[in-house]
Structures are given as structure tokens and as C-alpha cells.
Amino acid sequence: MAGFQVPSSVLIVGSGVFGLSTAWTLTQRPEYAATKITVVDDASACGGEFPPLDAASVDSSRIIRADYADPDYAALAAVAQAAWRRQGDDDLGGQGRYSESGLLLAADHPATATKAGKLTGMDYTKGSWRNVARIAREAGHPPDRVRTLESAEALREHLGTPGRPGDWGYLNTLSGWADAGEGMRWQYRRVKATGRVDFVDARVTELVTEGKRVVGTKLASGDILRADLVFVAAGAWTGALIDLRGRVEATGHVLGYIDITQAELDTLSRQPVVLNLTSGLFVIPPRDRVLKVARHSFGYLNPVTVPSALPLSPAAPRIPIVASLPVTARSGGPGRLPAEADADLRRAFGDLVPLRGLEGRPWRETRLCWYADTRDGNWLVDYHPGWEGLFVATGDSGHGYKFLPVLGDKVVDCIEGRGGALGSKWTWKQVPEGDRVGRETNGRFQGLITEDGSRGGSPGMILEEELGKKEVAKL
């Protein structure tokens, strides 16, 4: 902490997993006992709840796993899982907030040769298996807690499905899923109960600067909130406040829910989470008579004009830019899926679920979950290099929620300049000179592509274009 001065006040923009977990850690560290902590988020547009209901971290379920091809994330997730497994009423994993159902992770053999150094879903799956098998072994678990399923036939037999769940995979019985909405509400109540954090329900329209320093935020009302340190953790909305083109980009990922019978629930609740990293399709076991299917993919882009994002430095003008941003129910979201997504999610019922007849069932609800994506899947948790007084925590790339119990500690360590190996992964992203990612070229928006091997589907799809298509080619 050499040279670090504890801020007199911290303004946290965003009450998602980064914002709330950081607020909690600040209340627990004695050196921040005199620090004024404020969290601002636009909750009124989503029923007045913190965090807002359209936040990526608020949903019926999220996968909780240490199953990463990257050993640093695997190790950190294993630590987080220890907290999830605590089942007391007041613990994060208690009252049904965590279920250790197991995770079946699979992939398809690549259809074509891949470029050197580019990971495929199969590469990721096998790397993940090696990491979690080692973690389980070192923790003293029996070898059969993580076991391979080395053919399509073995995968089909284990799942009881006649479809095509993958060509190779493994079952990790030490992973599971969480009720994400309840977990976030648990964290909010815990932060609120400290009495140390002021929550402000308001929409932030821009960051306020004086000279080389960010000094606060301007609200839609025209009011200004000021702080010694401005901490922006606005998830996929961060690009509306800060120019992150080529570094972090909002991408929309499809979810669908169908009603099921009690008999179907009895069968499906005994299944593991199933995720195919080539297609990105996954199914999480239901607790109630509603089944969720989703796709962890390259996602949809929604390029819009952003009027007043903070430029890269005080020397650059604050001018309108085009960036991909979320469109949700609060902003008149589409309320339906593009045709290709509808067909793809229905394919998951045939490939990953041991019950027939679900493919044609009407949707109870559909949703787009908005990630803040980076090119390599590593987060951005660092001071902004062009401005003083501004710290940014975003770019979770769809895999931040499971770290809820430990994330705040790691983020505050980065604030204090002692982030270690993870902090090195999360530093400010460099963009090659002349790079056009995140920009329009000849009227066409060129999106950022996450190439860590964990994504399926087709990159670069524009949401508005896909919604305009009436039919979809057979998948």
C-alpha cells in the first residue's frame, strides 16, 4: 500500500456484483472507518429495488463453478465455492440460495482447423477439466467427484437424452448453481445493515470533471454527487459513461423460460447443470415448475449514440460516440427473441434435456442478459490512466457473479495497489493503434469478440437486424 491514501469518500456507480461486493469490503476494513460510502443506481425504473431487476447479476439462476481453463480464475472460484457451500440461514448459500447439483461441461470437436493460439470450446473444456481435477485432488476429494465422459455416447447415456450434448466432456459433482436474484438481495441487505452506505436511487448521466480529475457524477435531475474517489461499476452500461471502445463492450445473451409439470420437475431437478461450450447452450436444474435455458455466446450488439461518455484524457474532446449498450425492459426492450435465438434455445431442449416434447412449448418469458465483454475474457479492474480520481471495475465477460463472496476483497486490493496476479490480468486494456473494434467503418459497427474459448454461436450479430428477420435457416 506504499503511496496509497485512503479516500475520504467513495462514490460507487452501480449496485451489481462489483458494486455491492466492493461496498461490503469497504465497510469491513478498519482503514475505511471514516470513509463516506455512497452507492448510486437507477432502481426506480425497475420497481425501486437495489440492485435493479434488469441487472445481469439478478436472475433465477447462475452457474457456480471452479470450472475454468484459466488456473487463476479456477483457484479464486474454488475459494468462493467454500463460502457458497455454507448453508446457515444467514450464510450466502443458505435458504436455498445455492444448490450443488453438479456440472456437466461438454464441447464438440472443431468442425474446421483453427488458427494457432486461438482456443476452441474443446480446448477450454479440457483445460477446465485438468484444473478442477487438480483442485479436487488437492482438497482430498475422491477421484470420482470429477470424471470424464469421453464420447457422445457416454454423454447421451449420462444425461438420458437422444440428442447431441457434445463429443467429449466431464462431470464435476462439486459445482452447482445459485439463485442469483436472492443472492444479490442477500448481499444488499448485508451492506445496508452496516449503516455505513448511503444508497441513492437516481440515473447517472455523465461523470463530472475538474481539470484532470473526475470529481463526481451528474444525475438526470441535474444534481451532482461528489467524492474523493469515483468507482464506476455499471456493468454493461459502463460504456455510456466512459469511452471503452475496443476495451469493453455490451453484448446481449438470450434466456428463455418454459412452464413444466410436477413430474417434469421431479426428473429435471435431479439433473446437473449442462453446458456445451461450442454451442454455448446450457440448462440449469429447476427448483420450481419453470425451466430456464440460455446461451453463453458471442452475444448481440446494440450500437447506439452515446452523447457524453468521458473521453480517454482531458486533452480529448467530449463528443458523441457510437457504442453497444444494453436494451432492457426499462428502455423499451424487444420483449421477444430473434428467430435464430428462438430456434437455437429450442435445440437445447433436444440435446441437453432427458424429456421429449419441450421443444414446442411456448415461452413463459424471454430475456436478454447483458454482459460487459472484453477480448480475452479478463476483467477490467483498474484506475483510469487518463484521469485522476477514477477507478473502473467492469468487463466481467459473463463470469463475475460466482465470485460474489470474494470479489470485493480482490477489487479493494486493486484499489490499494496490491492486486497481485489477478490485478495484473485486470489492468487497463491496451488497444492497438488504428484498431477499429468498437467503431463504425463504412456505416457498419465492428464489434468486440471474446476469444477465450468459452463462447459459442456467431460473432458480430446486430440485435436490431436479427429482430427484423422473420425466418431463420435450419440450425
Partnered with residue 226 across adjacent β-strands are: 216
Q: Give a yes or no: residue 144 inside a domain.
A: yes
For residue 34, give its domain range: 9-446
Q: Quick check: pTM over 0.85?
A: yes
Q: What is the dihedral of CA 214, 218, 224, 229, to 10 degrees?
A: -30
Name, in order, each residue with C-beta under 8 angstroms of 98's C-beta and a sequence gap of 6 or more.
Answer: 64, 84, 85, 87, 92, 176, 177, 178, 179, 183
What is the predicted pLDDT for the residue at 475? Answer: 41
462 in a domain, yes or no? Answer: no
**Within a domain: 132:** yes
Does some domain include residue 353?
A: yes
Element (H, E) at 193: helix 180-193
Q: How many domains does the chain have?
A: 1
In a domain, 349, yes or no: yes
Q: How far is CA 474 from CA 11, 363, 471, in A?
A: 49, 20, 9
Distance of CA 76 to the CA centre of its chain: 16
* Residues of the chain with confidence (pLDDT) below 70: 1-2, 113-117, 471-475
3-state helix, strand, coil in the chain (%, to 5): 30, 25, 45
CATH code at position 137:
3.50.50.60
Task: Let me know if residue 452 belongs to a domain.
Answer: no
Answer whether 57's CB lies under 8 Å from 17's CB. Answer: yes
With H, G, I as helix, E, B as strand and everything else as coil, classify residue 46. Answer: helix
Whether residue 91 lies inside any domain: the answer is: yes
pLDDT at position 13: 98
Residue 87: CB atoms within 10 Å? 14
- Position 260 scores a pLDDT of 98
Q: Which helix (H) or strand (E) holds 190?
A: helix 180-193
Question: Which residue from 466, 181, 474 is spatially nearest to 334, judged by alpha carbons?
Answer: 466
Assigned domain for 461 exists: no
